[in-house]
Amino acid sequence: MIQLSEQALSDLEGVLRPSYDRDQVRPGVLHIGVGNFHRGHQAIYFDDLLATDPRWGIVGVSMRSKGTSDRMAPQDYLYTVCEKQGNESRLRVVGSILDLLVLSESRQEILNLSANSEISCITLTVTENGYCHSNSGDLNWQHREIAHDLENPDSPISVPGLLVALLDARKQADGGPINLISCDNLSDNGSILRSVVTQFAERRNAGLAKWIERNVSFPSTMVDRIVPATTDKDIEAFARKHFIDNALINTEEFTQWVVEDCLIGNAPPLAKAGVLLTPDVVTFETMKLRFLNATHSALAYTGLLCGFGVIHEALEDPALYSFVTALMRSEIAPVTMTPHEIDIDHYQQSVLSRFSNASVPYKTAQVATNGSLKLPQRLLPTIESHLQNGHIPKRLCTVIASWLACISNAELAKQFSDPILPIAPLKSCLGRSDLLGELANNALFTQEVDSLLQSIKREGVRAVIVT
């Protein structure tokens, strides 16, 4: 069998290969968190840019694990993206990642890169946890990693601490303006990133904080693509049919990246790669969070309660299909502003179509992970809009109750992680701001959730879903 590498590229058949000379590519992007999503999303956009401009190579940074680096280094950091739709697949080898550095081993090299004026962007996919922020969006000073970094500014382990160290190195080297681009599913992610970075910088050095204000842009973004975890079985099956690729990415055809149009300095021409630059990211972000992400979570928790291991199987269940269809149409759409460029009826149908793609399976437990961090963005604002209108949205309440039923069930909770776990026996949601934020003080809402939760525990989720 052929092992993917630079030398083996010319021997590969039926695959789209980089059209540029990788020896000529220079790093222009430093990316923190080179997981599957980055390699299945942003790295491809930069790969497209490299076809005409060698300045946009990526150097990745891993905060802790060497796993991805160990898989990619023997392949010269090449990997295959397999886009699947039904029985059709399209293969593409991506070459935009030039190196992957582990923080504990290459701290000085990472600092030197950030100081280099040719690096115009630091991008991030570190999940919601990585920002070390509170529900208000401020830096959580009680966070263990933040406390460590305050005492050890030269060896940070948190994302905010590392970013401030990188920016400090750039300031000292007079590296010029730079863009810090969050690519995580956080509402107003640019503002949250700005908040945690500037607050940490102010504590470290007032002069550095002022430099950041003048020289760093924090655009908000919206990213959208389903990129499930790659399994050993996926890699083995791919090798039998094609070649050995231990960093394989399976994904869908659909991809979207929306970036706030406020990039500074020598920024990459993202629009040339199909990125939508707009002053109004919020509307796109809200649409995705409230329709796609909320429906994903709804299928994850109701699906787990019904015994489904993957999202597309949950959606094949007629009752769950009808439930999430009605959820979007009757409870999300009426209270959600959407971009004028988008046909929202078509968008809702595309959500269901994408989740139905059995060739890109997504585990319900994977989607269910970190619900206490995700649901405040995905569901609670929509619920709050209904409550302000004097209406209790039963379907949305059912999703909340399903989440609570999952985290309250010791056997189910073993399948996924959540900062809220383990949770004590839940008798009432009233006052439980750790679960529901400010909505925990709304008696009518919490009574509805409590009632649904008890019904789910007694009779099962099918007995309470409304279609």
Q: Convert the pLDDT of each residue in 314-353 to its tens digit.
A: 999 999 999 999 999 999 999 999 998 899 999 999 999 9
Taking phi first (over 0 means left), then psi (-120 to 50 degrees means alpha), and beta for anything else, what does residue 33 get?
Answer: left
Of 183, 163, 170, the closest CA to residue 215 belongs to 170
Of 124, 147, 143, 121, the closest CA to residue 134 belongs to 143
What CA–CA distance (Å, rounded) separates 443 from 58? 50
Share of the chain above pLDDT 90, in %: 93
Q: What is the mean pLDDT of residues 163-177?
A: 98
pLDDT score, position 14: 92
The CA angle 42-45-51, to the nearest 5 degrees, is: 145
Share of the chain above pLDDT 70, in %: 100
HSE-up (13 A, CA, CB side) for residue 126: 26
Q: How many residues can be counted in the chain? A: 467
pLDDT score, position 338: 94
Residue 458, pLDDT > 90, answer yes
pLDDT score, position 32: 98
pLDDT score, position 136: 81
Unique residue bearing structure tokens 């989607």 = 367
For the whole model, what pTM was predicted? Answer: 0.88
What CA–CA distance (Å, rounded) separates 7 from 11? 8
Residue 185, pLDDT > 90, answer no
All CATH 1.10.1040.10 domain ranges in the chain, comma separated? 283-463
Of 29, 9, 30, 31, the closest CA to residue 21 belongs to 9
pLDDT score, position 328: 98
**Mean pLDDT for the chain?**
96
Give all strands (DSSP E) within 63-96, no chain letters: 79-85, 88-94
* Helical (H) or strand (E) element with 122: strand 121-124
pLDDT score, position 425: 85
Q: Could you give phi then psi for residue 84, rounded to 5 degrees? A: -120, 135
Residue 86, pLDDT > 90, answer no
All CATH 3.40.50.720 domain ranges in the chain, comma separated? 9-278
Residue 467, pLDDT > 80, answer no
pLDDT score, position 466: 82
What CA–CA distance (Å, rounded) separates 138 from 135? 7
Under 8 Å between Cβ of 362 and 433: no
pLDDT score, position 87: 85
Q: What is the mean pLDDT of residues 251-265?
A: 97
From 1.10.1040.10, 3.40.50.720, 1.10.3720.10, 2.60.120.920, which CATH number describes the 283-463 domain? 1.10.1040.10
Q: What is the mean pLDDT of residues 303-315?
A: 97
Q: Could you give phi then psi for residue 238, rounded to 5 degrees? A: -65, -40
From 3.30.70.20, 3.50.50.60, 3.40.50.620, 3.40.50.720, which CATH number describes the 9-278 domain? 3.40.50.720
Burial class, 407, CB count within 10 angstroms (exposed 0-12 / middle 13-18 / buried 19+) = buried
Residue 135, pLDDT > 80, answer no
Q: What is the mean pLDDT of residues 282-294?
A: 95
Q: How confident is the model at residue 179 (pLDDT cuts 50, 70, 90)?
A: very high
Q: What is the mean pLDDT of residues 17-46?
A: 97
Q: What is the mean pLDDT of residues 355-364?
A: 93
The pLDDT tens digits of the residues spanning 377-391 come to 899 999 999 999 999
